[in-house]
Amino acid sequence: MIVYLLSVALLLLILEPLFTYYWDSKKLRRFPNASFLSGISDIGYILKRYRGFRSKEIHESHQEHPVVRVGPNTLSFSTPDAIRAIYGHNTPCLKGGTYVTAAGTHPSLLDVVDKQEHARKRRILSHAFATRNLEQWEFKVTDKVQKLVAQFDLLCNDKEEAIIDFRMWSNLFTIEAIADIALSHHLGCLTQGSDLVTITTKDGEKAVNYIDCLHSGRRATSMLIWSTKWFTSWRFALKALPGFFQTQWRKGQGFDEMVRYLVQQRLRRHENGEQLEDFVGCLFQDKHGDARNLEIAEIEAEVATLLDAGSDTTAISLTHAMYFLMKAPATLSRLREELQVALDGSQEVAKYATVKNLPYLYACINESLRLLPPVAFGLNRMTPPEGLTIDGTWIPGNTLVGVPAYTAHRSPLFSNSEQYQPERWLEDDIKETQGTFIPFSTGARGCIGRNISYIEQTVLLATLVQRYDLSLVDPEGNLDHEEAFNLWPGPLPLKIRRRDNC
Ligand code: HEM
């Protein structure tokens, strides 16, 4: 029996991929491999994930080849034409691969595959995210900036110098902001200076580390999910075995429990007749006040996505924006000059109406989004069954394709593309790069929260740069990165002091 099982395993694990590779029914062998094993197995891609900064490694392959094979059925493209074909509004491609594997019984707006189902979900939330309604969330952002400033002032003890980890504080800021914007919930994380959230489960009261739990679950999943065929079996086995994966996934469950608790709390307030302005309100009822009667599991899936995608990415972006400013004193001075004129020293917390018109502030944010996009890897899309021509090359149906933002943002359309030059965003010819700048992806599946993220980033950065002198604790040091799904920067220790006139 054991010999039989081992033979079957050998056949499945080694011979079948080798046979498929040499049979090559899709003619994918014509594309160069990103790593030694790419044509036979997803292990090469998984190993890149283990090494830390996967998109940078893929980019190195792209410097020689516009198309590379990153897995047996996965191709990575690099040109603006490929972006249009794969993600553009008229693309026949669908989300595939990892999205299908990761989604539970109730996919959210982010991981749902079916176009009609996606359109239905997007319609429900689009009212809350519409540009004309966005400024109604500003007071929630302002409240969080005030809380952060209060903490920094306390740490600075009036005019003394303090050391803070900006990575951590910016993430506390974004989790507080999204919990309020999505659910009208005040987590209290900024006030207590930690990501600890107390929740009630059926087993009683429990403390959950929001960021740590979120990252643990995503860390474990992002290590294995690229092997989509085997992921479910791997997860089943590794969850049962004591060790790294079991610990990470167990911690990750804390995030799901927190989501369940927060949804229950919000539902109770809704049933008690409280009229709250937030995203989840749009899931309970439409704009005429008629109940939508969505299943609770669907609401939980949407809330989990909002609390994840709506906090992690913006915190990453803020950390990178601050890091680059600290590394470029001339840029920081120019930004300060712009802020001095616009804010006139009279706005303790910058008003969005003021900062939304500041070109250099936007240039600084966009330039760091270009160099270090929070979602840097090639987002999987499945070609339609009949196949698709991408960048002049016909690609067979049911092949996974993508363009990493990390590579797109280093297109020759950006001169000196490795250099941090916010000024490039003020030039007229920047318009030519429009289709190549994809930190929020593009087309029908582009980010719905992009404008909210800009509100959070512009208001917070303008306020902090105006109020504090900031500098790196280690001016020679660089940021470490771990690329799970998002590109997580490591700690960013800063020296911080209140400025004389603030
Ligand atoms: C700098 C900040 C942000 C970045 C870089 C970013 C990036 C992205 C990217 C690349 C996608 C496409 C994902 C994919 O195709 O798998 C996406 C989708 C999405 N984002 Fe964001 N995002 C940011 C902020 C936000 C915020 C603040 C929210 C919520 C308040 C949000 C909610 C979503 C949702 C719900 C989707 C799915 C949209 C759909 O498929 O219709 N994001 N985002």
Write the pLDDT tens digit of every residue in 377-393: 999 999 999 999 999 99
pLDDT value of position 477 = 92
Of 49 and 359, the one with more pLDDT: 359
| Nearest ligand 1 atom, CA 99 | 16
Instruction: Please report the atom of ligand 1 found closest to the CA of residue 121.
Output: 41
Instruction: Give the mutation target among 111, 447, 453, 458 for probing the ligand 1 site: most ligand atoms within 8 A of CB.
Output: 447
pLDDT at 29 > cutoff 80: yes
Task: Give the closest residue (by CA) to ligand 1 atom 11.
Answer: 447
- Residue with more model confidence, 149 or 36: 149
Q: For residue 403, what pLDDT is reported? A: 98
Above 90 in pLDDT, residue 4?
A: no
* pLDDT exceeds cutoff 80 at 144: yes
* Mean pLDDT, the chain, integer: 92
By mean pLDDT, which of 83-97, 130-144, 174-188, 334-348 is the weakest?
130-144
Residue nearest to atom 21 of ligand 1 (CA): 447
Identify the band that residue 108 occupies on the pLDDT scale cut at 50, 70 and 90.
very high
The fraction of the chain above a pLDDT of 70, given in percent, is 98
Q: Is 97 in the pocket of ligand 1 (CB under 6 A)?
A: no
Q: How far is the CA of 176 from the centre of ligand 1 (A)?
A: 17
pLDDT value at residue 20: 85
With beta carbons less than 8 A apart as the criterion, state whether 171 and 315 touch.
yes
Say if ligand 1 is within 6 A of residue 39 CB. no
Residue 286 confidence (pLDDT) = 87
Question: Using an 8 Å Cβ cutoff, are 203 and 157 in contact?
Answer: no
* Atom of ligand 1 minimally distant from the CA of 438: 10
CA 51 to chain centre: 20
The residue to mutate among 126, 174, 313, having the most atoms of ligand 1 within 8 angstroms of its beta carbon, is 313
What one-character-per-residue DSSP string does 335-367 give? HHHHHHHHHTTT-SS--HHHHTT-HHHHHHHHH
pLDDT beyond 80 at 423: yes
Could you give the CA distance from residue 27 to residue 384 in angstroms, rounded to a whole number?
16
Is 93 annotated to bind a ligand? Reply is no
pLDDT at 14 over 80: no
Ligand 1 atom with the shortest distance to the CA of 110: 37
Q: Is 281 in the pocket of ligand 1 (CB under 6 A)?
A: no
- Interface confidence, given as ipTM, is 0.99
Tokens of 436: 């190549």
Contacts 24+ apart (CB under 8 A), 276-281: 276/184, 277/136, 277/184, 278/128, 278/180, 278/181, 278/182, 278/183, 278/184, 279/125, 279/128, 279/129, 279/181, 279/182, 279/183, 279/306, 280/182, 280/183, 280/184, 281/128
pLDDT over threshold 70, residue 10: no
Q: What is the pLDDT of residues 235-259, one digit of tens each?
A: 888 888 888 989 999 999 999 999 9
- Range in 60-74, 124-138, 409-423, 450-464 the model is least confident about: 124-138
pLDDT at site 338? 97
Residue 453 CA: nearest ligand 1 atom is 27
pLDDT tens by residue, 467-486: 999 999 999 999 999 999 99
Rounded mean pLDDT, 302-329:
98
Exposed, middle or buried, 270 (CB in 10 Å: 0-12/13-18/19+)? middle
Which residue shows structure tokens 């691969």?
A: 97
Tell how far the Cα of 347 is from the centroid of ligand 1, in angstroms: 30
Residue 206 has pLDDT above 70, yes or no: yes
